[in-house]
Amino acid sequence: MSRGWTRWWAALTAGLLAAGAVAAAPKTAGYEIGREPAWVQPMSANGLDAGLPAAPLQVLLVDEQTRLPAGRGPSERYRHVVRLVRDGSGLEPASQISIDFDPSYERLTLHRLEVRRGSTRINKLDARRVRLLERETGLEQQRLDGRRTASIVLDDVRVGDRIEFAYTLVGDNPVFDGRFVQVGWTRHGLGPTGLFRYRLLAPAQRSIQHRAGAAEVADGGRSADGLKITEFRRRAVPKFVEDPYAPAESWLGDMLQLSEFADWGEVARWAETLFEPALRPSAEVTAQAEALRGAGRDAQLLALLDFVQTQVRYFGTEIGASSHRPAAAAQTLAQRYGDCKDKVALLGALARAAGVRATPVLVSSSMRRDVVGMLPSPLAFDHVVAELQPEGRSLLVDPTRSMQTGPLDERIARGLGWGLPARADATALVELPGHAGQLQAEGQDVLRFGSLAKPAAFESVQTFYGDIAEALRAQRAARGADEFERDLRADHLRQYPGLTADGALEMADVPGRNAVRLVQRYTLAPPWRFPEQRVFVADYGLPLLMSVLRLPDGSDRARGLRLANPGRYRQSVEFHFDEPTFGRTSSSRAEESAAAFRLQLRAEMSPQAQRLEAELEMLQDRVAAADFAAYRERLPRVFARLSGVVQVPAVTPAQAETMRQRYAALDADVRSGRLRIVTEMQREALGRRVLLDTVLGGDRLAPAL
């Protein structure tokens, strides 16, 4: 989420993992100390630890209360938190309090900060303890948002202490034009929560929609000044634990969403008012579009897209209303930097100057298709892309993706789920291009044996398409060639421990495609085992396909499992021998199917080669929690299909004919009485001696065998 529309998600995550909230428009010092507002209803934390699971730190109470004015005045957002230290490992997180705020429109007032130790109440609210930090936590993601952090580190905190603090934030981002929107979490990242309460006071004429997830909703009546009160409560809330494999929809139950936007159409009209002024081509933008004119419409659009992707660097200044309002296209062109909304506005203005309709489309890079579970609100989105419509076609492109290559139709932004066009006539979310049926990756491993007793030449050729290709280019650029190559070889080294690199990794773009090809060459020490001295055996596997199927630890997943992108993945492994090795030619096919995937396999054998090829088609991007056990039980059988052993006869076909002659001579000696055999063990020993004499007389035994 290094795009422009990310502040809301960053604030949500900070609310989960840190102490405070989002912030407010300051006085000279950046904050003030004052009394709690009269409209706040106090809440005690007594007894809220009953039934909470043991943890180093328990969050007894998170009490949030918001008051909206009858007119267009600022909202007031009060937050009261009580923590209980149960163990020494909870001391450090308990004693650090951080409150983030945007001084361009928010004001912060601290009300209370105290430590309760038994019956003693120790006041810790002292202006000298408060440090205002300009942390710019998004700077590594090329974002500057101007936010500050009021940071307090408490001294003398002990096991058994209760830490209690409260503050109020006043002010709203002006970009929402006075409409109230908020997305918060009912879980906390520091520990289990005894009670989460959210109390909303709003005039009856202000229609605030809500989705409460797992929280209970109750009508709280009216306040003294006639405001309608709605309460949301959730008790005994488990600690938030990050799960990178969880589908986005699994977090909806932990979200509390509030929005004064009536529907998606109202959000679309709001977005259009932000983007339309920025999309107007200036003289400078028109001149740039003319300078990039190509031979044909697609060639010109590709030149425009490539210019914005590669010649305008990604950097976002998201202070105040700039969190969502794009800079004018001429400004972005002049400064040669911008975030997603700025780059979309510039690309759209260039396209319009070239006579092509262009529309910004709001998307969620974090929720993707699960954005349908969000309330109509600008906060449902954290990214924006562009829809170009030359001659009635629709091309969804992302001007922030600087690692794309290939023609225009290879640069379609896929897998973003649902989006909202920033256009007045848009009334609902629209489904965007997906990955279904797209070729995502293919690999071919070839092992060549001049002799079983000598090292083999191993070559791996892998081709990755679309999003994966772009990610690989970005990783190599960020991490350097050596580290990138070392990590890339890990799968092969696990599968074939005797590998040593033979030259550097070759990485090149595939002409005419948004794809990258990786060629790795190795020398493989003789991999053969000789079980029972009868047949040579070596292991093989298709690790690319195994990694796509994804099998995390654990037999149960309450949140389900997020899978790789839908689409097709291929891999093959071949063993080649310089001399005839197998006595027959054969082929076979197999298939494994499930709701989430379809796997097709084909095995082929000829006198000098064996080959296994597989195509895995991912049909879903997730497995529901209720279906995970069945999915996990199925995978061992599938993995057995994707790995195994190649068996090579201990002797060559020519040696086998010599052995048959020696066996015939032994039989003749037995029948004539020249050789006397009393037991079957003797007969078997003679037969094995002939086999081992033949093997030792050949060149198939490596020194270790």
Domains 7-38+56-260 and 439-649 share a fold: no
Q: What's the confidence (pLDDT) of residue 13? A: 41
CB 545 within 8 A of CB 592: no
List the one residue out of 370, 429, 368 whose CA is nearest residue 250.
370
> Which 8-state DSSP code applies to residue 529?
B
What values do phi and psi take at 505, rounded to 5?
A: -60, 135
| pLDDT given for residue 43 in this prediction | 95
d(CA 291, CA 85): 65
The DSSP result for 293-319, as a single string, is: --SSHHHHHHHHHHHHHHHSEE-EE--
Between the two ends of the chain, the Cα-to-Cα distance in Å is: 54
Helix (H/G/I), strand (E/B), else coil: 491: helix
Residue 555 pLDDT: 64
| Other Cβ atoms within 10 Å of 287 Cβ, number | 13
Domain 439-649, architecture per CATH: Sandwich (2.60)
For residue 249, what are its two tokens?
A: 């929809």
Could you give the CA distance from residue 614 to residue 590 in angstroms, rounded to a whole number? 9
Main-chain phi, psi angles of 45, to 5 degrees: -95, 0
d(CA 113, CA 96): 12
In angstroms, the CA 249 to CA 251 distance is: 5
**pLDDT value at residue 316:** 77
State the 10-residue block means of pLDDT for the chain, 705 residues long. 40 40 44 95 94 94 96 90 96 94 92 95 91 66 68 94 97 93 95 97 95 96 94 96 90 96 98 97 96 90 96 83 91 95 97 96 96 96 97 95 95 97 97 96 96 91 97 93 90 88 94 96 91 84 91 76 95 92 88 95 94 96 91 90 87 72 76 78 75 68 66
Q: Is the dihedral of CA 260, 264, 266, 272 positive or negative?
A: positive
Question: What is the predicted pLDDT for the residue at 145?
Answer: 60
One-letter amino acid of 538: A
Among candidate residues 530, 531, 533, 536, the one with its CA nearest the CA of residue 689: 533
For 7-38+56-260, CATH gives 2.60.40.3140
Q: What angle do CA 200, 202, 204 make, to 5 degrees?
A: 130
Report which residue type is found at 634. R
Specify whether the CB–CB gap between 624 and 576 falls below 8 A: no
As a CATH number, domain 265-431 is 3.10.620.30
- Residue 135 has what pLDDT? 63
> For 318, what's the count of Cα atoms within 13 Å in the CB-facing half-sphere?
29
DSSP string, 71-116: SS---EEEEEEEEEE-SGGGHHHHTEEEEEE-TTT-EEEEEEEEEE
Question: What residue has token string 């705020």?
Answer: 101
Three-class SS state of 422: coil
DSSP 455-486: PEEEEEEEEEEHHHHHHHHHHHHHH-HHHHHH
What would the two tokens of residue 694 be?
């033949």
Phi, then psi, of 3 in degrees rounded to 5: -95, 180
Q: How far is CA 25 from CA 37, 99, 139, 146, 170, in A?
A: 17, 13, 22, 12, 7
What's residue 698's pLDDT?
A: 63
pLDDT reported for residue 554: 66
Looking at residue 446, its pLDDT comes to 97
Q: What is the amino acid identity at position 658?
A: T
Token duo for residue 219: 């009508």
pLDDT at res. 144: 59
Q: Is 290 helix (H, G, I), strand (E, B) or coil?
A: helix
Tokens read off for 130: 């408060």
Residue ranges of the domains in the chain? 7-38+56-260, 265-431, 439-649, 653-697
**Percent helix, percent strand, percent coil in the chain, to nearest 5:** 30, 30, 40
Angle between helices 481-488 and 466-479 (to 10 degrees): 130
